[in-house]
Amino acid sequence: MNWYGARSVYHFGVNSEGLNIFEERVVCIRAESFKEAHSKARKEAEEYAESNGFDMHPEQVCYKQDGDKLIKNYEVWSELFQSKLSLEFFYQERYLNYLYVPEQP
């Protein structure tokens, strides 16, 4: 059995300004194959979405771990991107431009 990281994206809700809030979530799955990992991860993601009242994006990405046991500093997820942007601007575009800031009552 191998370990896989599985990423799903959910529509978490809408804030008072009408902005959508999304959750990018990675879970660990133990499976014999990518096919089984996707199946288990999809089931887990659907249950998570249903139990929280979230919409789930249909595309799910799985990443096969290197085979070591889950230990301190174990890499759970790694994904490569390409862009003409510098590291600073890529980070800004992908993460900071859409950072969720909880509303204060």
Half-sphere exposure of 7 (CA within 13 A, CB side): 11
* Over residues 34-59, mean pLDDT: 94
**What whole-number distance in Å separates Cα of residue 57 and Cα of residue 52?**
14
Q: Summarize pLDDT for 88-103 with one digit per residue, the tens.
A: 898 899 888 888 888 8
User: Which pLDDT does position 81 carry in this prediction?
Assistant: 80
* Over residues 34-45, mean pLDDT: 95
Q: In whole numbers, what is the pLDDT of the chain averaged over residues? A: 88
Domain ranges in the chain?
A: 2-65+78-98
Place 31 in a pLDDT band, splitting at 50, 70 and 90.
very high
This prediction's pTM: 0.77
Tokens of 5: 């990281």
